[in-house]
Structure 1
Amino acid sequence: MSTTSELTASRWAGIDAGKEHHWVCVIDDTGQTVWSSKVLNDETAILDAISTVLGSGGEVTWGIDITGTASGLLLALLAAHGQRVFYVPGRTVNRMAGAYRGEAKTDARDAYVIAETIRHRQDLSLVDVPATVVAELRLLVGHRTDLVADRVRMLNRLRDVLTGYFPGLERAFDLSNHKGALILLTGYQTPDALRRLGRTRLAGWLTKRKVRAAGDVAATAIAAAEGQHTAIPGEKTAGSIVAELAQALLDLDERIGKIDRQVTEAFRGHPQAEIIESMPGIGPILGAELIVAAGDIGSYADAGRLASAAGLVPVPRDSGRRTGNMHRPRRYSRKLRRVFYLSAQSAIIRPGPNRDYYLKKRAAGCKHVQALLALARRRVDVLWALLRDNRTFTIDSPTKTAIAA
């Protein structure tokens, strides 16, 4: 650890964030280290470090390589002190590290490289330290993402086991979107059990459990059972596993439904929620994901910056005589791109300007994904303008609306 009794007026503080502790390195305008120390991820220790760095007055610019849960307390305390913090991606740190002496990778060296990066570069994004609503959305959306991933894994396992001994029933229902089929599997999983029960009694059993179109579900299941009279070795054990997985999926669906209601309530407490949700194809869930992925959209200088952050602006990769070679950028937010892509996909279902633009691109020779990405890019412009002007989406242009009024 290197220290100095007097910090300079213009300083840059690099933070190599970690779960148990952070390393903070402060440099002056010549790139010399004036303070460098390990700081425990503890409120008292962090406050002491901030007090030391800010002790001599003057402006300090902070940079950090992680903006997730590990740095949540640190970022909140920096925000409380009115400090500006820039995000320095890990890939950028690794690239910049090659420009400095030494090959050893230590927390202190990484913190120094982060400080040097924010001293030299002006294109880094400010960290949007979340307010209460955004922090709540971030937690809820993260938890929902984990639950959905668990559901996909569990559903794939159920399909795999069911196909192994009763492929006809697996083909008969879309298990990913058929609650009635999952309820059926909690009670009856084998062809023999279904045949012995019969269509009428199965329909009654399903009706008692409030399955929609119980008669149709029963008829489909019995037809599948009539198509297979061969018992597969291990069928009974496989059936018990299918019953357990089906019940777990039903329970998980209830948990996801509860989270969805919480996300919707929290999202609609955001001041820009009405504007975001007015865009065709964006509901409260995607809207919440947008806020979490983009942060403060007002911090983007223009729509192009927002589109670039979402990976919707191609960049050239020319070489020698090869020019005009455009590719998707390597650095962009996958989550933000997913929001705009899925919202564009939803928007083309119904007639309107979104579908018209998509069909125009298809007619021009674009493939499905290319046309969707072009629409997503266009929608970024629209959404950014709506948020800038603080107005909701309408098919008519603002000029026409004003004239009509």
Structure 2
Amino acid sequence: MDVFCGIDWAEGHHDVAVIDGTGKLLAKCRIGDGLEGYQVLLDLLADHGDSVESPIPVAIETGRGLLVATLRTGTRQIFAVNPMAASRYRDRHGVSRKKSDPGDALMLANIIRTDMPMHRPLAADTELAQSVAVLARAQQDAVWNRQQVCNQLRSLLREYFPAFLEAFKDKQGGLARPDARRILAVAPTPALAAKLPLSRLTAMMKRAGRRRNVEADAERLQQVFRREAPHQAPLVEEAMGKQAAALLLQLDAVCEAVADLAQATEEAFRAHPDAPIMLSFPGIGSQIGARILAEIGDDRTRFATAGGLKAYAGAAPITRASGKRHYVGRRFVKNNRLNHVGHLWAFASLSGSAGADAHYRRRRTGGDWHMQALRHLFNRMLGQLHHCLLARIPFDETIAFPSAPQPTTGTATV
């Protein structure tokens, strides 16, 4: 007898429903979010035939957390149903629009009972791949947080200290640079910055790691800081300086987190067997490769075809056709992290691959705007990555971008 389980996940408790192949409710319960609750759930599944040889599939509205990690032991299939998709299924079971946690658990169990082939189970990624995913996503979040704090600090400096923004506007990294953060920590107001002697500016830049053109850049900074400019009232300027110092503490912390997570991510990624294949592709370094591996995993059965992977990444177009209307456009439902790193990969490959650059320029000549051409290049490179990972072979420029046949010249001889 086929048995299915649905779990309505919540922060403090979880509702469980177990049904048979006809949809009959066999058992239901509410468990706590802890070891005792998880054991009650496993015992309940075992009472209804769950075993290593024939595990009961489970549908739940999340794909992470300790509960999911507990259920993923062995070969059990876990279906993480999107909450939006679950809400659509809810209308199939009643028109009154009623909702309850036990009812949602029953509805989730019925989803995999009736439409299991339409839903993809969680990938059986290795432990190393899962650890790379945790680190790569954390590093990406830290980079986004760093930019957010930089934007807040920049907005504040525009109000009372625009000369500091001008001093570092053409420098890579901007306000997140070590020398910029060190100078701003010592002189958070225009009055203090104007009093900085050249020797101290030079010393701070060297302590921040600068090795080239230090003296010339220190003279430039001193000139910028001492230039005549409008000022806030002294007390207001001092208060804004304290606010900038507080934001700077946050920026220092997030910059340190970005660096630490980047190092840990690179170490974990290079230890993975897929790393040499990914690194053979133009435009893929340790960070981009780790982010790609984090989103596609190393379960090669997850994407049966390259088209499935392209659709998951949002690189493949979507078609909407009805009657005489036919529309082809980009996908809006996709893995946003993979789509984001895909554009970084495509852009970086332009300088590392003559074939990729020629493909991009050919698309641009054909009428594509910049992002369209990059998306099309990402689509092509993603298909090549799917093939190389399955075949366990590195990237080959001559195969990936074969040169066009040259036209023959002269007269043919008989």
Under TM normalisation by the shorter chain, which class is it?
0.7 to 0.9
Shift of 1:317: 2.3
Alpha carbons 1:168, 1:228 under 8 Å: kept: no
CA distance, structure 1, for counterparts of residue 188 and residue 228 of structure 2: 13
- The question of 1:383 aligning with 2:385 is answered yes
- Name the residue aligned to 2:127: 132
Shift of 1:129: 5.0
Shift of 1:99: 0.8
Shift of 1:143: 3.0
Query: Structure 2 residue aligned with 1:277, among 276, 279, 290?
Result: 279
- The question of 1:145 aligning with 2:140 is answered yes
Query: Secondary structure at the residue paired with 2:29?
Result: strand
Shift of 1:210: 4.0
- The question of 1:100 aligning with 2:93 is answered yes
Q: How does 1:1-400 map to 2 (within 5 A)?
A: 9-57=1-49, 60-69=56-65, 73-101=66-94, 102-121=96-115, 122-128=117-123, 130-174=125-169, 175-176=174-175, 178-212=177-211, 213-233=213-233, 234-298=236-300, 299-323=302-326, 325-397=327-399
Shift of 1:100: 0.8
Alpha carbons 2:198, 2:218 under 8 Å: kept: yes
Alpha carbons 2:150, 2:176 under 8 Å: kept: no
Aligned length: 387
Query: Secondary structure at the residue paired with 1:256?
Result: helix
Alpha carbons 1:183, 1:247 under 8 Å: kept: no
Query: Secondary structure at the residue paired with 2:58?
Result: strand
CA distance, structure 1, for counterparts of residue 41 and residue 200 of structure 2: 71
Shift of 1:388: 0.3
Aligned AA for 2:83? Answer: G
Query: Secondary structure at the residue paired with 2:79?
Result: strand
Structure 1 gaps of 5+ residues are 1-8, 401-405
Alpha carbons 1:281, 1:343 under 8 Å: kept: yes
Aligned AA for 1:228? Answer: E
* Change in 2 beyond 3 A, CA 1:396/1:93: same
Shift of 1:202: 2.8
CA distance, structure 2, for counterparts of residue 68 and residue 76 of structure 1: 7
Aligned AA for 1:63? Answer: A
Alpha-carbon RMSD across the aligned residues, in angstroms, is 2.4
Shift of 1:200: 4.9
- Name the stretch that deviates more: 225-234 or 90-99: 225-234
CA distance, structure 1, for counterparts of residue 237 and residue 24 of structure 2: 71
CA distance, structure 2, for counterparts of residue 40 and residue 386 of structure 1: 45
- Name the residue aligned to 1:403: none
CA distance, structure 1, for counterparts of residue 201 and residue 331 of structure 2: 55
Shift of 1:247: 4.8
Aligned AA for 1:19? Answer: E
The alignment's TM-score, normalised by the length of structure 1, stands at: 0.87
Alpha carbons 2:175, 2:181 under 8 Å: kept: no
Alpha carbons 1:86, 1:125 under 8 Å: kept: yes
Shift of 1:198: 4.1
* Change in 2 beyond 3 A, CA 1:338/1:202: closer
Aligned AA for 1:151? Answer: R
Cα deviation code 1:38-58 (max 9, x no counterpart): 222223332332332233435
Aligned AA for 2:97? Answer: E
CA distance, structure 2, for counterparts of residue 283 and residue 319 of structure 1: 43
Alpha carbons 1:264, 1:285 under 8 Å: kept: yes
Shift of 1:369: 0.4
Shift of 1:130: 4.7
CA distance, structure 1, for counterparts of residue 103 and residue 386 of structure 2: 39
What is the aligned-residue identity percentage? 26
- Name the residue aligned to 1:5: none
Shift of 1:297: 4.7
